[in-house]
Amino acid sequence: MNKLKILFINDFGYRLGGVEVNLINQAFELRRRGYTIKILTSDANPSNSSLVSDYTFKSYSDKSLSRLFNQIIYIPSYLKLKNVIEEYQPHIIFLHNIFHSVSPSVLLAVGNIPTILALHSYELICPTGAIIKQDGSRCVSPGSHDLRCTGSLKGYVYEHIKQEIHRLLLKKVAAYIAPSESIKRDFTNQRPISSQIRMIYNGIEPAKYEPIKNFNRILYVGRLSKEKGIDVLLKAINKIKKEIPNIKVDIVGDGPEAEHLKSLSESLNLQNTVFFSGKVEKDKVNDYYNKCTFLVLPSVCPESFSLVGIEALNIGRPVIGSNLGAIPEWLIDMKCGFLFNPGDVDNLVEKSLTLLKNKTMLLNMSKYGSKYSRKFSNDTNVDNLEKLFFELTNKKI
């Protein structure tokens, strides 16, 4: 039997973050299994990285006056998809992030082709996409907007109009994929959702176990934004340093909070303790995993999954993560790391010092986490995707 032809669609075609890494992992494994995979994205490429796209459409500027309209209806992406469908004739359309450069209006072009949407984040039910309000407070009822979500009455009205348009467009989606039970719960019964939500954990390519060599180096990898809670980590390091003066911290990533976090680090006199590496190419991130003692995920808002956490466990590095969102689903407390109370600096200090001062516990967690994390593999992820593909196309594996 001929394998299916699948079209992936995403806002960006370069390695911006976990969404793009997940897309690339899935495309690689599906191609290895004999599927024909094509990728459609915008042509945005600010870092001049290699694009993974087979097809592109012209992107628009986030600073343009038309961006609010484009995030709902963007004609270039719609027209490009119509052309791609005519040329490629895919059996399945697989949407990843489509709430910026692509825009959900592409759904007007899918016709009767079974279409899947991955719920990587909260754009459908949260104006910021991160379950955090404009005033910095955490949202406890996603999908129910107030002025603190949008920052203005105009924004409030716009979000309601946008959500209603999304609800109509998303009727074309045959199935949703949630990368965790947490995000599945948050999206179940939300107004824009009208189809089944299938929970399928993300996967990674297994890495070789590397014994811990440094016992005083903490790592953060990810976007530098408010919801990630990096300020909580810096405040914790300020206290940890008093007990372990030679502690070092690597902050890998970039984002809107970069300058603020650097200023905070300086105000805490951590210039010789905390090192901001900026954005690092994917093949170099493993070097940071190798030289760290453990990874910290200090998020103050729910994570949909967190590939970096699984990558760290896989290579043999325990994780200390917020007891929030999807993190407790894969981080087994006291087995492959610790969970701590979100935003609680003292609790993070306590858990960190426990690991830094107990080498036997650290090494046991290192070995356990590496073995346990193998269950979150690309193979398992794609096995589950295949079942969904064939359900939607009424074919058998």
The span from the CA of 393 to the CA of 259, in Å, is 49
Which single residue is written with the structure tokens 């979150």?
Answer: 376
The span from the CA of 189 to the CA of 192, in Å, is 9
- Asked whether residue 84 falls in the same domain as residue 175, the answer is yes
- Asked whether residue 90 falls in the same domain as residue 169, the answer is yes
At 138, which CATH number? 3.40.50.2000
- pLDDT tens string 335-364: 999 999 999 999 999 999 999 999 999 999
- Is there a domain that residue 246 lies in? yes
- Is there a domain that residue 153 lies in? yes
Following CA atoms 273, 227, 354, 349 in sequence, which dihedral angle do they give, to the nearest 10 degrees? 60
CA distances from residue 208 to 26, 51, 374 in whole angstroms, order as listed: 20, 27, 11
pTM of the model: 0.88
- pLDDT tens string 137-190: 555 555 555 555 656 677 678 777 888 888 899 999 999 999 999 999 989 888
- Asked whether residue 161 falls in the same domain as residue 84, the answer is yes
- Is there a domain that residue 397 lies in? no
- Asked whether residue 181 falls in the same domain as residue 271, the answer is no
Per mean pLDDT, which range of 40-44, 135-139, 247-251, 321-325 is the poorest? 135-139
Spell out the alpha helix ranges (H) of the chain: 18-32, 67-70, 75-88, 147-150, 153-169, 181-187, 230-243, 258-267, 282-291, 307-315, 327-330, 345-356, 359-372, 378-392
Kindly indicate the confidence band of residue 306, based on its pLDDT and cuts at 50, 70 and 90.
very high
- Is there a domain that residue 85 lies in? yes
- Asked whether residue 229 falls in the same domain as residue 188, the answer is no
CA distances from residue 128 to 132, 142, 145, 220 in whole angstroms, order as listed: 7, 11, 11, 22
- Asked whether residue 264 falls in the same domain as residue 160, the answer is no
The span from the CA of 233 to the CA of 386, in Å, is 39
pLDDT at 146: 52
The encoded tokens of residue 397 equal 């594996």
- Is there a domain that residue 71 lies in? yes
- Is there a domain that residue 209 lies in? no
The span from the CA of 41 to the CA of 58, in Å, is 9
Query: How many structural domains is the chain composed of?
Result: 2
Q: What is the domain extent for residue 171?
A: 5-203+377-392
- Is there a domain that residue 225 lies in? yes
- Asked whether residue 358 falls in the same domain as residue 386, the answer is no
pLDDT at 208: 93
What is the mean pLDDT of the segment spanning 35-60? 92
